[in-house]
Amino acid sequence: MPPAVAFRVAATRTHAVGRTAARRPFAAPALPSLMLAAVLAVPALVGPAAARDAGCRIEQAGRVVLDRTCDFQPEGRDGSFTLSARGGADTPLFRGVSVVSVMVIEPGVADVRGLTTGGINSRWGTARRSGRDGACWQGDDFRICAR
């Protein structure tokens, strides 16, 4: 039997159709599809990095509004992070604010936002990483430090 015919015979599967058997070609899943499925499943298995305690300090208009331990949640690998109150989502981080996010948009520069206790996403502005203290980000009228 020629190799092409042998392959075709080996790559068929018999399926019962009523009382007679019919032969249909066996379609193996495409390797690229399996690889894509595996790649997409990895983040679900790994999950996000766990929040950890950090010493948090936030100043607004020169006034300290937060100076205590809070939850520090890394967001990706570029230095972005989110600060929230210890104790869960029902506890405000400080008066009127539930969460503060520092999202790096380029090295040393971040977009800062606060989620109010009323659910409003408030943009604070752009901040630059401090040259003196790498744990701090300085905006026009705010400063955020997480150690």
Query: What number of CA atoms fall less than 13 Å from residue 101's CA on the CB side?
Result: 13
Two structure tokens written together for 61: 């208009």
User: Hey, what long-range contacts does 95-100 have (CB within 8 A, 24 or more apart)?
Assistant: 95/65, 100/58, 100/124, 100/144
How much of the chain exceeds pLDDT 70, in percent? 67
pLDDT, residue 24, reads: 54
pTM over 0.75: no
How much of the chain exceeds pLDDT 90, in percent? 63
Between vectors from CA 88 to CA 84 and to CA 89, what angle results, nearest 5°?
70
pLDDT, residue 90, reads: 84
Per-residue pLDDT tens over the stretch 85-120: 998 778 999 999 999 999 999 999 999 999 999 999
Query: What number of CA atoms fall less than 13 Å from residue 6's CA on the CB side?
Result: 3
Taking 80 as the threshold, does the pLDDT of residue 58 lie above it?
A: yes
| All structural domains of the chain with their residue ranges | 3-46, 52-146
